[in-house]
Structure 1
Amino acid sequence: MSDLIWQKPGIKIDQRIQRFLAGEDVALDRVLFVHDIRASRAHAEGLARVGILSTDECEALCRELDALAQDWAEGRFVLDERYEDGHSAIEARLIERLGDVGRKIHTGRSRNDQVLVASRLYLRDALAALREACVAIADTALERARVEAMQPLPGYTHLQRAMVGSAGMWWGGWVEAFIDDAVLAADTARWVDANPLGSASGYGVNLALDRDHTTRALGFGRLQVAATYAQLSRGKFELQALTALSQALLDLRRLAWDLSLFTTAEFGFVRLPPEYTTGSSLMPNKRNPDLVELLRASYAVVAGAKAEIEQMLSLPSGYHRDLQFSKGPLLRAFRHGLDALALVPDLLRGLQWNREAIAAAMEPGLFATDKAIELAAAGVPFREAYRIAASEPLPSYGADPDASLAARVSPGAAADLRLDTLAARLAALRAG
């Protein structure tokens, strides 16, 4: 590891301690590196605006930061164990190329606000990706809901056959679920879209830093005004972003559970695309829904990340090194969660219904509620209608799932799915 930017003369560095202190920072900072470079460029411009850097010095720093970003993108610069973290790597590169001019880049800032601003920029992108992933899933479900609006499918409560349902209703539930998840991702992105750069270590600096300029330059929606709140918000914003991610993965878990059940021989309602299944290492007869099961388990990764950060945040105000441990859970959860969600649209496009198995599951009891409602609509008190239907379950149109669905006219039910309303919400999300 190169010389540490905080190292004092005469103090010996114990490499075992330093390895523990650095932890995963170098590896994790590879995800944040481009954001850190971008924020360093905005900081250099801000220093020039208050006279700390000359125009030539600012231009030289910006030029070298742009070159570093290019070298990083093309693999010519490697962030590895030579560096304590991404922040020190940027400073070392600037000093190597520009000497004393490079040594000026850290004026008026701390690694605290560096990691905060890089994390905010990352979260803004990650939440945008989450919104897009949820929109893509909702779009796919909407396509299938339109095509299969009136295809019968047993509806379940308590894992028992309950009422006649439809594939259109099943799909419509996932359309609206993932629309809501996309809205939550967008709302969360707006909430975390605040610029902490210039708060330094949490108490500001004795320079008239142009924080409004860095806010504009980095495209933030607002300035995070209180220098002390910048530190207080670390972990808090990450938790809220993980909450948005967890809502999408909760819906994915329930969707995956349905597919896990529907693909069993006991149900037999769904056939998965073969590329979404694997074989057994022992049993030649098996095709296993491993992908669906891992999608179902993916929520646990995010829940674990939230628990890590929540436990770490039992802290007083100000910066504490404990906060370093917020990066790992956040980045791992978003990487895993976004990878999982990206697989879902093709999975949903490719699954096929087994109509014969579905028809065989349409037992007479599924029509009992229709009978009770029909009698109530004809004037029979509902409790009496309920008693009659319990002993005489078939409605006047008999055990006909198509007729049952056609009569289901309550808004959101099979005969009035209101898919155009959901499509309009999706269009608004794409536009905004």
Structure 2
Amino acid sequence: MSQPLWSKESTKSKSRLSEDIMLFMSGRDVILDQQLLAFDIQASKAHAEGLARIGVLSEQESMIINQSLDQLLKDFEKGQFILDERFEDGHSAIEWYLTDKLGELGKKIHTGRSRNDQVSVATRLFCCESLKQLNQLCLDVSFTCLKLAKQHEKDVLPGYTHLQRAVVSSWGLWFASFAEAFCDNAKAAQQVLELIGSNPLGSAAGYGVNLKLDRDYTTKTLGFNRLQINPMYVQNSRGKVELQVLGCFKNALLDLRRMAWDLSLFSTGEYNFIEIGNDFSTGSSIMPNKHNPDAVELMRAEYAKLVGCYAELESLLSLPSGYQRDLQNTKEPLLKGVSSSLQCLQLVPHLLVGMTINHKQCEQAIEASMFATDKAVELVIEDGMAFRDAYRHIKDNYQELEERQAEISIEQRTSPGSCGNLLLDRIEKRLKELLD
């Protein structure tokens, strides 16, 4: 490992114990920072430009530093610069690179900033980008469900409560429920993005610096919607921001878990309502007959993984004001939770489009008792009975129930949002507004 930025030692000779301590304190930072380095470079460029605006750097020096930072990013993306155990973290790697390339000029990049606001701004930029990706993926899932709801609007699907057959329902209603759910999830991502989109750069270690930094300039340059004003709050919001982001992902994965549960059940031999596409299924190593919906089951499990990341992060935050080294450990659960969730969500539209609905099996699952509520409502409308009396009459006279056409039941369910009146145009309108 290179000499730490904060080291007071003039020599690089270290005992085995001190090396072990350094490795413990650095943890997995240098590995995790591989996901943050591009954002750290982006923020460093804005910081250099800001220093030039207040005369700490000349315009020429700022330009040279930023050209070197651009080259660092290219080298990193091409694998020509490796962020590895030579460095304490991504911050030290950036400063080492600039000093190696530019000498004394490279050392000037850290003027007016701390690794505290450096990691805060890189993490914040990562969070903002992750929420934009989440928003888009939720919209993709929602539009896919909306398209399938239109395609299967009146196709029969038994409706269940308590996992017991309840009423006649439709695939249109099922798909539309998730279209609206992921519409809400996209909206939530946009709202959290607005909430966390404040600029922490220029707050240093939590108490500001004796330089008149142009923080409004870096706010605009980095694409934040406002300045995070109080430097102590910048430190105190570490972890809190990450929880907001993971909480947003939890909303989406909670809906995905329910969807995956439904599809797992519907694909069993006992239901046989759907067939999962081959790309999302596996066979057994011993049973030739098996067609297992493994990808669906892993999607169902993804929420549990994210909850673990959330709990790990939340448990770290019983801290006093100001920076504490504990906050270093907020990085891994955030990066792990976000990357795994995004990988999972991007597969959902392909899963839904690729599955096959067994319409005949769905229709055969409809039985006379599932028309009981329809019959009770008819008694209310046609005979003027109070609903509670009609309910009791049907319950006491099941023999009066007869098989009906499920499609007619679907069409007669006309309350707004129900099978016969899905109001898909309103969901579509919301989605288009969210796209804008």
Q: TM-score, structure 2 length as denominator?
A: 0.97
The alpha carbon displacement at 1:122 in A equals: 0.6
Counterparts of residues 118-137 of structure 1 (less than 5 Å): 118-137=122-141
How many residues are paired up? 431
In the other structure, the counterpart of 1:427 is 432
Letter in 2 for 1:19: L
Counterparts of residues 304-383 of structure 1 (less than 5 Å): 304-378=308-382, 379-383=384-388
Asked if residue 183 in structure 1 is aligned to residue 187 in structure 2, the reply is: yes
Q: What CA distance in whole angstroms lies between the structure 1 residues aligned with 2:62 and 2:32? A: 28
In the other structure, the counterpart of 1:226 is 230
Paired residues of 2:371 and 2:401 also in contact (CA < 8 A): no
Describe the superposition over 1:335-391 as per-residue Cα deviations: whole angstroms up to 9, x where unpaired: 100000011101100111112221221011110011111212231011110011223
Counterparts of residues 12-411 of structure 1 (less than 5 Å): 12=14, 14-378=18-382, 379-393=384-398, 398-411=403-416
Asked if residue 7 in structure 1 is aligned to residue 7 in structure 2, the reply is: yes
Identity %: 50
Q: What CA distance in whole angstroms lies between the structure 1 residues aligned with 2:121 and 2:154? A: 50
Letter in 1 for 2:255: D
Pick closer, same or farther for the CA change 1:410–1:215 going to 2, 3 Å.
same
Paired residues of 1:196 and 1:224 also in contact (CA < 8 A): yes
Q: What CA distance in whole angstroms lies between the structure 2 residues aligned with 1:252 and 1:430? A: 21
Name the SS for the 1:380 alignment partner.
coil
Q: What CA distance in whole angstroms lies between the structure 1 residues aligned with 2:359 and 2:152? A: 12
Paired residues of 1:368 and 1:394 also in contact (CA < 8 A): no
Single out whichever of 354-363 and 96-105 deviates more from structure 2. Answer: 354-363
Q: What CA distance in whole angstroms lies between the structure 1 residues aligned with 2:399 and 2:361? A: 21
Name the SS for the 2:36 alignment partner.
helix
Name the SS for the 2:139 alignment partner.
helix
5+ residue gaps in structure 2?
Answer: none
Paired residues of 1:249 and 1:298 also in contact (CA < 8 A): yes
Q: What CA distance in whole angstroms lies between the structure 1 residues aligned with 2:20 and 2:26? A: 10
Name the SS for the 1:403 alignment partner.
helix
Name the SS for the 2:101 alignment partner.
helix
Paired residues of 1:367 and 1:395 also in contact (CA < 8 A): no
Q: What CA distance in whole angstroms lies between the structure 2 residues aligned with 1:50 and 1:193? A: 25
Letter in 2 for 1:139: F
Letter in 1 for 2:9: P
Q: What CA distance in whole angstroms lies between the structure 2 residues aligned with 1:26 and 1:254? A: 37
Describe the superposition over 1:59-79 as per-residue Cα deviations: whole angstroms up to 9, x where unpaired: 111111111111112221111
Paired residues of 2:48 and 2:62 also in contact (CA < 8 A): yes
Letter in 2 for 1:103: K
Letter in 2 for 1:220: F
Pick closer, same or farther for the CA change 1:241–1:395 going to 2, 3 Å.
farther
Name the SS for the 1:250 alignment partner.
helix
Paired residues of 1:113 and 1:197 also in contact (CA < 8 A): yes
Letter in 2 for 1:404: S
Name the SS for the 2:392 alignment partner.
helix
Q: What CA distance in whole angstroms lies between the structure 2 residues aligned with 1:376 and 1:395? A: 16
Letter in 2 for 1:223: L
Paired residues of 1:368 and 1:395 also in contact (CA < 8 A): no
Letter in 1 for 2:366: M
5+ residue gaps in structure 1?
Answer: none
Q: What CA distance in whole angstroms lies between the structure 1 residues aligned with 2:267 and 2:157? A: 14
Single out whichever of 332-341 and 391-400 deviates more from structure 2. Answer: 391-400
Letter in 2 for 1:208: K
Q: CA RMSD in A?
A: 1.3
Q: What CA distance in whole angstroms lies between the structure 2 residues aligned with 1:55 and 1:384? A: 85
Name the SS for the 1:161 alignment partner.
strand
Q: What CA distance in whole angstroms lies between the structure 2 residues aligned with 1:339 and 1:25? A: 22
Letter in 2 for 1:6: W
The alpha carbon displacement at 1:392 in A equals: 3.7
Describe the superposition over 1:291-332 as per-residue Cα deviations: whole angstroms up to 9, x where unpaired: 000000000111011101110000010000000011100001
Q: What CA distance in whole angstroms lies between the structure 1 residues aligned with 2:60 and 2:268? A: 69
Q: What CA distance in whole angstroms lies between the structure 1 residues aligned with 2:401 and 2:327? A: 66
Name the SS for the 2:395 alignment partner.
helix
Paired residues of 1:260 and 1:289 also in contact (CA < 8 A): yes
Q: What CA distance in whole angstroms lies between the structure 1 residues aligned with 2:54 and 2:303? A: 47
In the other structure, the counterpart of 1:415 is 420
Q: What CA distance in whole angstroms lies between the structure 1 residues aligned with 2:392 and 2:264? A: 35
Paired residues of 2:372 and 2:401 also in contact (CA < 8 A): no
Q: What CA distance in whole angstroms lies between the structure 1 residues aligned with 2:283 and 2:396? A: 47
Paired residues of 2:379 and 2:385 also in contact (CA < 8 A): yes
